[in-house]
């Protein structure tokens, strides 16, 4: 039997969110390195992924098993999520448990319990870190208990693992200074999973955003930028927002009602949609737009929306946070917003309106190529194999 790597997560798997996509691509890379990979997830197994022949649940060719238990009290749910010894006992056969060589945990799952378990059974620890929130994202800021626990975990507990996968250079530099063995892995994708771009005619130029309306994405600045366009310019654009309804947009955004009224019929709000539907919209859009402030959370994270858009042949309109400056280039695969301001966003939109169909086609092709060269998981296979082998031989 091959050595088994366990990917231990709270996130839904399979699923359409960024964490599930990252887990899947990372699992493929580890599987290509010669290991058997099993994802352990705290969500109910989906019968659609059950294979009667093997008796296993698998998303494409990645096996997953659920340790979810229904009808538990809140306290018991917490215990169930962190009791790694019981989780392995309930999901793995005795022969499989003997062959577990590494448990890869998301930063949310990493705990003192997992650390003690790993030390007792002499298993190396590996944590995948994809976020480090800023205090302003929480009610009461740095006095919020969730924020404090999150901050303490990133600062003091995760460095104890010694081996850390980092989604950004900011995180990689931080954990290197803490003498950790790091692996830089921006959001990996499976390039062949994305629909080819349909290259719809211009105008209108279609601008697309998908995501929940949270404090991390400053969508109101983008909408204010669109609102600054003159009547003739507005007639040449179409804006699609997925992830919420129009009433939520009005309530949660500063001046939301005024902005929505100003944009009128050029704005479509389509609510929550599936991953497949997002890809359908992307294949018909000209640009994905995303704005974030320069803050710790934006420096530590890496917006997974960007590789996904590029893979679909969709250039992006962004301000340069995280490591985006290493991947997005003006009029090659994107348009840069110089400052986090509505006026600057409007300038970027006007640049998009000035594109010919020939120039947009070139940008679309460049976007897909940049995703293939920088984010497809196969680019990391050799270094991932060496990284895992070094951890296991240490």
Query: 3-state secondary structure string, the chain?
Result: CCCEEEEEECCCCCCCCHHHHHHHHHHHHHHHCCCEEEEEECCCCCHHHEECCCCEEEECCEEEEECCCCCCCHHHHHHHHHCHHHHHHHHCCHHHHHCEEEEEEECCCCCHHHHHHHHHCCCCEEEEECCCCCHHHCCCHHHCHHHHHHHHHHHHHHHHHCEEEECCHHHHHHHHHCCCEEEECCCCECHHHCCCCCCCCCCCEEEEEECCCCCCCCHHHHHHHHHCCCHHHHCCEEEEEECCCHHHHHHHCCCHHHHHHHHHHHEEEEECCCHHHHHHHHHCCCEEEECCCCCHHHHHCCCCHHHHHHHCCCCEEECCCCCHHHCCCECCCEEECCCCCHHHHHHHHHHHHCCCHHHHHHHHHHHHHHHHHHCEHHHHHHHHHHHHHHHHHC
Burial class of residue 255, CB neighbours in 10 A (0-12, 13-18, 19+): middle
pLDDT bucket at 185, cuts 50 / 70 / 90: very high
8 A C-beta contact, residue 298 and residue 321: yes
The 10s digit of each residue's pLDDT in 259-317 is 888 888 999 988 888 888 888 899 999 999 999 998 999 999 999 999 999 999 999 99
pTM: predicted TM-score of the whole model, two decimal places = 0.91
Alpha-carbon separation of residue 218 from 253, 291, 306, 333, 337 (angstroms): 9, 6, 15, 22, 13
The 10s digit of each residue's pLDDT in 92-148 is 999 999 999 999 999 999 999 999 999 999 999 999 999 999 888 888 888 888 889
pLDDT of residue 215: 55
Using CA of residue 292, residue 149, residue 151, residue 68, what is the dihedral sign? negative
pLDDT of residue 138: 82
pLDDT of residue 216: 52
Q: What is the mean pLDDT of the chain?
A: 91
Quote the tokens at residue 380: 């990391």
The 10s digit of each residue's pLDDT in 349-392 is 999 999 999 999 999 999 999 999 999 999 999 999 999 999 99
pLDDT of residue 15: 73
Burial class of residue 277, CB neighbours in 10 A (0-12, 13-18, 19+): middle
pLDDT bucket at 53, cuts 50 / 70 / 90: confident
Cα separation, 104 vs 102, in Å, equals 6
The 10s digit of each residue's pLDDT in 54-87 is 889 998 889 999 998 888 888 888 888 899 999 9
Task: Give the pLDDT mean for 46-55.
Answer: 86
pLDDT of residue 152: 93
Residue of 74, 78, 54 whose CA lies nearest to 64: 54
Which of the residue ranges 20-29, 151-160, 208-217, 358-367 would you say has the lowest mean pLDDT? 208-217
Which of the residue ranges 48-52, 162-166, 177-181, 291-295 would you say has the lowest mean pLDDT? 48-52
Cα separation, 50 vs 71, in Å, equals 23
């Amino acid at each position: 039997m091959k050595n088994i790597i366990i990917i231990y997560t709270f996130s839904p798997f399979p699923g359409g969110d960024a964490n599930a996509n990252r887990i899947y691509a990372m699992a493929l890379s580890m599987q290509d390195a010669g290991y058997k990979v099993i994802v352990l997830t705290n969500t109910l197994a989906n019968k659609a992924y059950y294979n009667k022949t093997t008796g296993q649940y698998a998303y494409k060719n990645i096996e997953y098993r659920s340790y979810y238990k229904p009808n538990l009290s809140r306290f018991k749910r917490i215990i169930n999520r962190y009791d790694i010894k019981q989780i392995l006992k309930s999901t793995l056969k005795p022969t499989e448990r003997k062959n577990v060589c590494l448990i890869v945990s998301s930063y949310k799952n990493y705990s003192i319990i997992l650390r003690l378990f790993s030390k007792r059974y002499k298993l190396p620890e590996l944590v995948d870190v994809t976020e480090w929130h800023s205090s302003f994202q929480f009610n009461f800021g740095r006095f919020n208990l969730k924020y404090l626990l999150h901050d303490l975990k990133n600062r003091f507990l995760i460095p104890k693992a010694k081996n850390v996968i980092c989604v950004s250079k900011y995180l990689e530099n931080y954990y290197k200074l803490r003498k950790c063995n790091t692996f830089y892995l921006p959001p990996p994708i499976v390039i062949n999973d994305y629909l080819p771009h349909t290259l719809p005619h211009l105008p209108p130029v279609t601008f697309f955003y998908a995501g929940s309306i949270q404090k991390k994405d400053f969508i109101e600045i983008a909408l204010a930028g669109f609102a600054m366009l003159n009547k003739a310019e507005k007639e040449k654009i179409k804006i699609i927002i997925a992830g919420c309804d129009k009433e939520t947009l009005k309530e949660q955004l500063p001046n939301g009602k005024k902005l929505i009224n100003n944009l009128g019929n050029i704005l479509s709000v389509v609510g929550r949609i599936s991953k497949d539907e997002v890809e359908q919209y992307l294949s018909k859009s000209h640009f994905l737009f995303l704005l974030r402030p320069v803050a710790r959370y934006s420096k530590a994270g890496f917006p997974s929306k960007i590789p996904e858009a590029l893979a679909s042949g969709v250039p992006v309109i962004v301000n340069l946070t995280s490591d985006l400056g290493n991947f997005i280039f003006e009029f090659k695969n994107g348009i840069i917003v110089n400052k986090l301001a509505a006026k600057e966003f409007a300038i970027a939109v006007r640049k998009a309106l000035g594109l010919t169909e020939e120039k947009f086609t070139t940008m679309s092709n460049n976007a897909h190529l940049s995703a293939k060269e920088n984010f497809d998981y196969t680019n990391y296979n050799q270094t991932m194999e060496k990284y895992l082998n070094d951890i296991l031989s240490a």
